Amino acid sequence: MKKQLVFLTICLLFLIGLIAGCSGGTNQSVSSESPLGTENPLKASAKTKETNDEEASSMGENDIDEESNEDFKVTLLGTGSPLLSMERFSNSTLVEVGGEKLLFDVGRGSTLRLNAMNVSPGMIDKLFVTHLHHDHTMGFDDLLITGAAVPDPRGNRENALQVWGPKGTEDWVNNTILSYKADIDVRNKVEGATIEATVNEIEEGVVYEDNGVEVIAFKVDHGPMEPAFGYRINYNGHSVVISGDTTFSENLIKHARGTDLLIHEVVVVKREGEDYKSEAIKNIEAYHTTPEQAGEVFKQTQPKLAAYTHLALLVSEEDAKLVERTKKNFDGEIVVGKDLMAFEIGDEIKIIEP
Residues that bind Zn ion (CB under 5 A): 133, 135, 245
Q: How far is the CB of 220 from Zn ion (least distance, A)?
A: 10
What is the β-pairing status of strands 197-201 and 92-97? unpaired
Q: How far is the CB of 291 from Zn ion (least distance, A)?
A: 17
Q: What letter would DSSP give residue 189?
A: P
Q: How far is the CB of 28 from Zn ion (least distance, A)?
A: 18
136 or 327, CB closer to Zn ion?
136
Q: How far is the CB of 275 from Zn ion (least distance, A)?
A: 20
Q: How far is the CB of 168 from Zn ion (least distance, A)?
A: 13
Q: How far is the CB of 274 from Zn ion (least distance, A)?
A: 25
Residue 233: closest CA among 336, 103, 133, 66: 103
96 or 245, CB closer to Zn ion?
245
142 or 245, CB closer to Zn ion?
245
135 or 296, CB closer to Zn ion?
135
133 or 219, CB closer to Zn ion?
133
φ, ψ for residue 45 (rounded to 5)?
-70, -175
122 or 166, CB closer to Zn ion?
166
**Strands of the 342-345 sheet, one edge to the other:** 197-201, 161-165, 126-128, 100-104, 92-97, 72-78, 342-345, 349-352
Residue 228: closest CA among 214, 249, 208: 249
Q: Where are the alpha helices (DSSP H) in the chain?
A: 2-22, 53-59, 110-116, 140-141, 147-149, 169-179, 181-186, 250-256, 273-277, 279-286, 291-301, 317-320, 322-326
Q: How far is CA 1 from CA 8, 148, 336, 342, in A?
A: 10, 49, 54, 51
Q: How far is the CB of 80 from Zn ion (least distance, A)?
A: 9
135 or 260, CB closer to Zn ion?
135
CA angle 37, 263, 154 (to 5 degrees): 35
> What 3-state class would DSSP assign to 276?
helix
